[in-house]
């Protein structure tokens, strides 16, 4: 199973870009990188995902290196409400069942400071 490595915590000033790194050096060619975040006492929230190309949506941008061994989630203008735990996940295909097991690591705790 491909696993991810993230720094345990990061700080970011309000209004600045938050760049959250993730290493997934054992990722397979057909596995996607997903990002979720969890604000205190709430359920995890989907942010963005990608396979090879960089992706952008209304919440964030995802930059995936050419070798796909690492990625960076970018929150372009962080606000206090972006303070949360951010999870980088590689979606694992589960054998012949067609199911997809999702393994959450410890994530990165992002503190956005005024």
- Could you give the string, one character per residue 9-48, with x where binding to other proteins holds by CB under 8 A and - elsewhere? -----------------------x-x-x-----xxxxx--
Stretch that binds other proteins, among 12-20, 61-69, 73-81, 87-95 (CB under 8 A): 87-95
| Alpha-carbon gap, residue 19 to 101, rounded angstroms | 27
CA count, 13 A, side-chain hemisphere, 113: 6
Q: Does 91 bind other proteins (CB under 8 A)?
A: yes
Task: Report in angstroms how near the CB of residue 45 gets to other proteins at its nearest.
Answer: 7
């Amino acid at each position: 199973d491909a696993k991810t490595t993230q720094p345990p915590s990061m700080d970011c000033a309000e209004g600045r870009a938050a760049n959250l790194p993730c290493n997934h050096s054992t990722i397979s060619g057909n596995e996607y990188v997903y990002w979720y975040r969890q604000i205190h006492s709430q359920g995890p929230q989907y942010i963005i995902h990608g396979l090879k190309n960089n992706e952008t949506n209304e919440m964030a941008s995802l930059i995936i290196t050419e070798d796909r061994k690492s990625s960076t989630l970018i929150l372009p203008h962080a606000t206090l409400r972006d303070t949360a735990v951010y999870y980088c996940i590689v979606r694992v295909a589960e054998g012949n069942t067609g199911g997809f097991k999702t393994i959450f690591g410890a994530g990165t705790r992002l503190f956005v400071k005024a």
